[in-house]
Amino acid sequence: MAQMDELISTELMMDYLGADADSWLLIDSIRLSAIDRLNTATGRDWRAAESDIPKANAAIRCMVWLDFYAIRDDSKNTAHIEAHLAGLITELQLIKESS
């Protein structure tokens, strides 16, 4: 299990998604992209962050889930997860602004 002060690993993302070993490269790529998008959206480098990691991991999990399943099944209703992700990003932006 990941420490509460480190970003979620590819292995934990694979467990979260229920993915098999053949998907490791894809999930790793999507996870890294999600971290970059979160960095851009919040103006904070989450690889170097020392606080608020659980909330950042929740946003990363949402982004990876959306990307991983969107390319496999476009019939999924993602509105709830997209709304949750938008809320997480807003919270993370506000945390940065207040620090």
73-93 confidence digits (pLDDT tens): 777 778 889 999 999 999 999
* Counted domains in the chain: 1
pLDDT digits (tens, 9 = 90+) for 21-46: 999 999 999 999 999 999 999 999 99
Residue 84 lies in a domain: yes
Residue 49 lies in a domain: yes
Residue range(s) defining the domain that contains residue 61: 10-98
Residue 2 lies in a domain: no
Residue 52 lies in a domain: yes
Residue 5 lies in a domain: no
Residue 3 lies in a domain: no
Per-residue pLDDT band for 97 (boundaries 50, 70, 90) equals low
Residue 4 lies in a domain: no
> What single letter denotes the amino acid at residue 96?
K
